[in-house]
Chains A and B, each alone.
Chain A
Amino acid sequence: MNRVVLKNISKSYYNQKQVLDVIDNLSLEVKEGEIVAIVGPSGTGKSTILNIIAGLVDIDNGNICVDGKIGYMFQHDLLFDWKTVYKNLFIGLEIKDKIKNTDKIKAMKLLEKYDLVDFKTSLPKELSGGMRQRVALIRTLMTNPNILLLDEPFSALDSQTRIKVSNDVYRTIKDEKLTAILVTHDIAEAITLADRIIILSKRPAKVIKEYIINFGDISPLEKRTNPLFLEYFDKIWNDIA
């Protein structure tokens, strides 16, 4: 079953000086439970694609079909610095005006799972980058999405924290059978997390290649030492170069 279908979509931005064609006749299907990574040069329109799927940006042509509830995790953690960690978790739910007791229990469980219980009443500025990103993840998960849009969510982290947090995210996605679209600059990250990798051209964005990644059921960390890893890496590297 497809969770997200984009059919021949196009998008241009207009400003006084020029028309900027960002996406040109792009099609994409994402199946339930699948993790798709989108890799492409800077400024090609990757964030725009996620914004389109999330319904935040209108398209000029084409069709979109989204079946499910979207949770969008942006490039920055975007925590509200005047709210405690705990209160930040409820920003999404608050908007729909329905915080139930079960939500509070869920928040506590997630805080525990991500090792943040001790920082429940801290302000975001008292947290490290990795912790902040985990809070942002929990905030996204609190609304019970079944489609996750991840826009370079780990790019602000150092490589060690990055691998740890992306491991966590991977586990969450697989355990809860979520569908995910992950935008990343990091080829290794794409290979270790995704079931399928889509390589985009320079702007206007078109799909130039697609890779099915198949390691079998092993963790992202284990994939890094698997011989297949280097094979995939070389191929993708050559496409981009």
Chain B
Amino acid sequence: MNKELKYSKMIKKQKTTVFIVQITLLILIFSLWEILGRLKLINTFLFSYPSDIVKIFNLYLQNNEIFRHIGVSVYETILGLIIGTISGLIIAVILWWNELVAKIFDPFLVVLNALPKTALAPIIIIWVGTGIDGIVCVAISISLVLTILSAYQYFKNVSNEQILMMKSFGATKIQILFKLVIPSNIGNLINLFKINIGMSWVGVIVGEFIVSKEGIGYLIMYGSQVFKMGVVMMGVLVLGVLSFLMYEIVNIIEKVWKENRK
């Protein structure tokens, strides 16, 4: 008992140390930025500086503009993330189910995967539309192919012997899918989902760069066009915070679920 206590105390201590150093680092970077800006050692026209960014942020906060932009981008990202991941998984299941289909589509998927999807963004927006749906489609296009290929690979890597064992118990293909193939890959699929958060954000920001009147991508684009670097920097910082929050939420869900699964 004493040993366990010591061990958990040590772990806790280490965690706090890591956290304190991380916060200190952040504060240091921003202070340095602020000081360099105030002393005019860096060109604030190009780099802006934290207190200026805060001022701009306050302005956007007061007229609620920032929430509109955040809301739109988060909405598009989550939609793209969920649709992209789920349809990717469904297609991966179909490929796993039917080897012939997998063989037929293999070269197409490989080419699509190698292609930089952002190159397709203008086409997609022209086809689908310049509203939220177009941007969501860009986000989907970026995560979809990767999801299909990775998930299919995971499914195929399931131990052949375990599948035989399930069959020896008389399992149907559906049972093998839901009792073995998917559960054994839950960890991988959650990681895939986390990767897709980033992918979906790329799609949304690129989409908003091309067309849109709102969203974080729009804000960044607008700022750079009128040379308000403070607005650009604010957009990027807000983006960083949002991605981090989304990632953490998924982490928390994963933790809770892991505790309950046993």
Contacts and interface: CB of A to CB of B under 8 A. Distances in A.
Interface residues of A, dominant DSSP: loop
B171 interface: yes
A80 B183 contact: yes
A91 B179 CA distance: 9
Contacts of A70: 168
Contacts, number: 43
Contact of A95 (B159, B162, B170, B262): B170
B163 to A, nearest CB: 10
A96 interface: yes
Given A75-B161, A84-B262, A95 B166 contact: yes
B183 A95 contact: no
Contacts of B167: 56
B113 to A, nearest CB: 26
Contact of A54 (B168, B183, B262): B168
Interface residues of B, number: 19
Given A75-B161, A78-B161, A80-B183, A56 B168 contact: yes
Contact of B180 (A72, A75, A80): A80
A94 interface: yes
A96 B161 CA distance: 20
A27 interface: no
Contacts of B168: 54, 56, 70, 72
Given A80-B180, A92-B169, A74 B164 contact: yes
Interface in A55-94: 56, 70, 72, 74-76, 78, 80-82, 84, 91-92, 94
The 10 closest A-B pairs by CB, nearest first: A72-B168, A92-B169, A95-B171, A95-B169, A78-B162, A78-B165, A54-B168, A56-B167, A74-B161, A56-B164
